[in-house]
Amino acid sequence: MDDEFDDSYDGLLRLGVLLGEVKGRGTPQEVIDGLPTATYKEWASVEDCETRCPICLDDVRLLQIL
């Protein structure tokens, strides 16, 4: 089926007309701004607190804002 996809400039323009305006599916900024923040050190006292970021798996620093 991928062999049938027209990825030329004109083909993509036709696809854009067919699909119409595409809107982002992200969380609105006002919702993100309303989430609580603190340093990791403040939250580290929680019993099941993770020491690594669940998204990038990097270690969290004590004074890092979360």
pTM: 0.35
pLDDT of residue 50: 67
40-50 burial code (b ≥16 CB/10 A, e <16): beeeeeeeeee
pLDDT higher than threshold 80 for residue 65: no
User: Token digits for 59?
Assistant: 């270690």
Q: What is the DSSP secondary-structure string of 8-52?
A: SHHHHHHHHHHH------SPPHHHHHTS---BHHHHTTSTT--SB
pLDDT of residue 21: 85
